[in-house]
Amino acid sequence: MDEHFITPAFNPSPNQACFCGSHLAFAQCCGSTQSHRQPPHSVHIIRGFLDATTTEKWVGLLDKKRGEKTGLKQGGEVVVSDKRVAERVFLGPVEKKLTRLMRKVFTTTIPQAMACDFEWFERPQIVRYPVGGHIWLHADNENYIKERKAWRKTSDRDVSLLLYLNDDFDGGELSFYAMNYVYKPRRGDLVFFPSDHRYAHRAHPVTSGRRYAVISWGAFRDAPRVHARPTNNCIFL
């Protein structure tokens, strides 16, 4: 096992100094359980990033499309299971516009917010969560090793991105387990955060309506890599 990619679980105690460097206790900072609180360190939320006209137009198109069942990636294969109930939908010709927008996000928006530089990002996917749709708690670039109480890096994703296209649904919150943080998606919001296990997250079940999200991931230039080359459909910058 390559020890280089194994990290002990992130499990700060409430009184411990917060990992963000604020000198506050974790429970008073990134781990706060208060409902009106700031997002944790490095969880960026840009409200209304995509305008209402565009989101409405895209949602109108997507509502007419049949979805393709999708699952979770396990050892390089996508496995459909009840841990992720969602459908992939395609925008057709409009996807070019979405790709252009994502290119801008990975060359400008995120680098400005996080002081980083990307080598590539994954071709954006649009996911629809019908009633009951959800995704189980997971980290985007690491898998938990029970016997070791540690995480192993399994993918070269460094930053995870979500762009919410609608908010006319119930349920479907995004929550970051280790930080006690719950975010309720709003139409047009762009959300991004590090892909490691500190930011393990889940999408709660949708209880009415359907929830649309664009998802993508970026890899930093000059970061240590698990794989010799990207394993997914990637766009180099």
List residues near Zn ion by CB under 5 A.
18, 20, 22, 29-30, 41
Cα 41 from chain centre: 15
Q: Please say whether the beta carbons of 85 and 172 come within 8 A.
A: no
Cβ distance to Zn ion smaller for residue 21 or 224? 21
Cβ distance to Zn ion smaller for residue 118 or 176? 176
Cβ distance to Zn ion smaller for residue 12 or 172? 12
Q: How far is the CB of 40 from Zn ion (least distance, A)?
A: 7
Q: Which of 127, 132, 143, 138 is nearest to 204 (CA)?
A: 132
Cβ distance to Zn ion smaller for residue 43 or 50? 43
Cβ distance to Zn ion smaller for residue 41 or 83? 41
What are the residues facing 122 on neighbouring strands?
A: 234
Q: How far is the CB of 36 from Zn ion (least distance, A)?
A: 16
CB atoms within 10 A of CB 228: 7
Per DSSP, the chain holds a count of helices (H) and strands (E) of 3, 20
In angstroms and rounded to an integer, the radius of gyration of the C-alpha atoms of the chain is: 18
Query: What is the arrangement of strands in the sheet containing 142-145, beginning at the earlier edge strand?
Result: 6-8, 150-153, 142-145
Q: How far is the CB of 180 from Zn ion (least distance, A)?
A: 12
Q: How far is the CB of 92 from Zn ion (least distance, A)?
A: 43
Q: How many CA atoms lie within 13 A of 206 on its CB side?
A: 23
Burial 182-200 (b: 16+ CB within 10 A, else e): ebebebbbbbbbbbbbbbb
Q: How far is the CB of 20 from Zn ion (least distance, A)?
A: 3
Q: How far is the CB of 22 from Zn ion (least distance, A)?
A: 5
Cβ distance to Zn ion smaller for residue 21 or 75? 21
Q: Please say whether the beta carbons of 204 and 169 come within 8 A.
A: no
